[in-house]
Structure 1
Amino acid sequence: MGNQNQPDSYKLMSHLSSPFVSVIIPVFNDAKRLKICLEALENQTYPKSLYEVIVVDNGSDEAEDIEGVVAQFEKAIATYESAPGSYAARNKGISLAKGEVIAFTDADCIPAPDWLEKGVENLLQTPNCGLVAGKIEIFFKNPKQLTTVELYESIMALPQREFLEKHQYGATANVFTFKNVIDKVGGFDASLKSSGDVEWGQRVASFGYKPIYAEDTCVSHPARYSFNDIYKRTLRHAGGYYDLQIKKEKSFLERNKRFFISLAQDLTPPLMFAFNLFLDSRLKGVQQKLKVSLVLIFIRYVSAWEKLKLKFGGVSARE
């Protein structure tokens, strides 16, 4: 006799070995890498009749011709979301999705050939599963000659297992969930331009669903290459943190307390982080350790400056 207390998502899917999957990909001015992503999705081991790919153009320049790129691929359809932000775009994709399972990745990611197969397998075999956060493997333009920023990314970028185990969320570069989980907990907060995956993942956990990390469900993600790349990412992350943790706090006193604590953390010299980097065996020699420490300090002070701008009326960046 089966467990009568199993959640709806598990009851619905436990008898289905291959549910229909909707893959949702937001894109903004990244047609070249989107094409590579879609090529990888055309060559999945999962049955071709059991998945669709929904690409949501989030206001790309006309010259990018996102619709023309998508039209080259049998499994993909294109749609459009004018509200800026990847979470608004993902919500648009969810509204059109036909699948019992929803899979999220990004236009700059390259899913492994068995990505869908493994993601669905992990989702189905975990009772009460709310989300599967898969591995995000970082790759480089020239692995034999990393830039200073790539070196930093090789140590610090997208630690998906840590996101899941310490903070109960998965970066949406690689997340699977059930459509009925989204129906129950709601979609992403479309007002956020960053950290929407944090808020949504923690909301899933708050409803009593189980989030899991899956090492075998893998996508590859390019490392940021230059200080300009890491600068833009830092602006977006600082804005996401501000909008999620500070701006939405209803209490004036609590809002300002959170702001000043966050600012102090950014402005305090990150000596402990630097010390840990010097102990990290993945970094070879003093020069590599100093380079990564430099990027870390750069990020902290850029983040502090962005939060100050937002505090005095600025608008969070989308990229």
Structure 2
Amino acid sequence: MVIPVYNDPAGVSDTLDSITQSVTQPATLEILVVDNGSTDDTRDVIRNYTQDHENVHLLVEDEIQGSYAARNKGIQHADGDVLAFIDADETVDDDWLETALQAMDEQNADYLGCNVELTLPEDTLVGRFNARTGFPVKQYLENEHYAPTCALLVRREVFEDVGTFDSRLISSGDREFGERVHEAGYEQGYAEDAVVYHPARTSFDALAKKNFRVGRGFCQKQRYYPDRFGNPGIPPTPSGDDIGDGDENDPDSTFTRLAFVFLSIAMLACRGLGYYYEFLLGEKRDDVPAPTS
């Protein structure tokens, strides 16, 4: 299992607590926590877990800043035939991993997305909006052939064939990798009963920054893969409903719906700003290697 982390001691502690308590046979699970250049006490928190759990190991990726570089570091050091990826602020059901592995075998899948449920650390309007529009993993797999790296299992042979994640990308590297896997003909699956819990972003600033990164990431994909994603300068056409349905029993549902419309437009604008920021100011990263198998 590979868990990338950057400056999140509380998040990685929650995740490691959840993982180590949910695994019935700890010796069979190798947990690789990859610190991506944290400047706080994140690395010390991880070291404390390595002392208490023989199957928890600390890796460091200080050369390349980015979650995909951190995941690639984990891939390089992992020993298992199946690699599981989650994020450092998530928790899991007690039988999450066993359920996911069983689904992988039953579906004969080489690449498996899991069910991601968003939780509300605090009840804010932005948090509720994010929870409604968060991670429809099944739709991602059916329509775009990828699952987010916050809840993903991949057989090692897939990486050996198509290469690792593209660490040049600031965002959307999970989609680029998933589409590469699909184009190579590997079987992709989905495990509805394997649940991972991801905290929703509850502040406007946090959600805006995420959407800004997503916009930058799409422009980067066009820069590196124009044959697949189009030429830089022409952003993708928005698709889907990012608003969600109001609650008929909520007396403030009209206000909530209008607020969700505003937030949807605002987040789309943040993606556009990120896209054109990258288009005007970004450059190809020759210092970071392209994906290799």
Q: TM-score, with normalisation over the residues of structure 1? A: 0.80
Aligned to 2:140: 163
Instruction: Kindly report which structure 2 residues correspond to 1:1-319, keeping only aligned pairs within 5 A, or say none.
Output: 23-64=1-42, 65-74=44-53, 75-82=55-62, 83-127=64-108, 129-142=109-122, 146-244=123-221, 246-249=222-225, 255-256=231-232, 259-262=233-236, 265=237, 273=241, 277=244, 280-282=245-247, 284=250, 285-314=253-282
Structure 2: 5+ residue runs without aligned partners?
A: 285-293
Q: Write the distance in 1 (CA, Å) between the matches of 2:153 and 2:24.
A: 14
Amino acid at match of 2:192: E
How far is the alpha carbon of 1:314 from its aligned partner? 3.8
Amino acid at match of 1:286: T
SS of 1:84's partner is coil
Bigger Rg, structure 1 or 2: 1
Is the Cα contact below 8 Å between 1:130 and 1:205 reproduced in 2?
Answer: no
Q: Write the distance in 2 (CA, Å) between the matches of 1:219 and 1:308.
A: 33
How far is the alpha carbon of 1:67 from its aligned partner? 3.9
SS of 1:260's partner is coil
Is the Cα contact below 8 Å between 2:219 and 2:235 reproduced in 1?
Answer: no
Partner deviation per Cα, 1:205-245 (whole Å, 9 max, x = no partner)? 1111111111111110000010011011111111111111x
Structure 1: 5+ residue runs without aligned partners?
A: 1-22
Q: TM-score, with normalisation over the residues of structure 2? A: 0.87
How far is the alpha carbon of 1:62 from its aligned partner? 4.0
How far is the alpha carbon of 1:273 from its aligned partner? 4.4
Partner deviation per Cα, 1:17-57 (whole Å, 9 max, x = no partner)? xxxxxx00000001111011001111224422211100000
Is the Cα contact below 8 Å between 1:35 and 1:69 reproduced in 2?
Answer: no
Q: Write the distance in 1 (CA, Å) between the matches of 2:191 and 2:104.
A: 9
Amino acid at match of 2:12: L
Q: Write the distance in 2 (CA, Å) between the matches of 1:287 and 1:47.
A: 49
Q: Write the distance in 2 (CA, Å) between the matches of 1:294 and 1:69.
A: 44
Q: Write the distance in 1 (CA, Å) between the matches of 2:162 and 2:226.
A: 22
Amino acid at match of 2:15: C
Aligned to 2:287: none
Computed over aligned residues only, the root mean square deviation of the Cα atoms, in angstroms, reads: 2.2
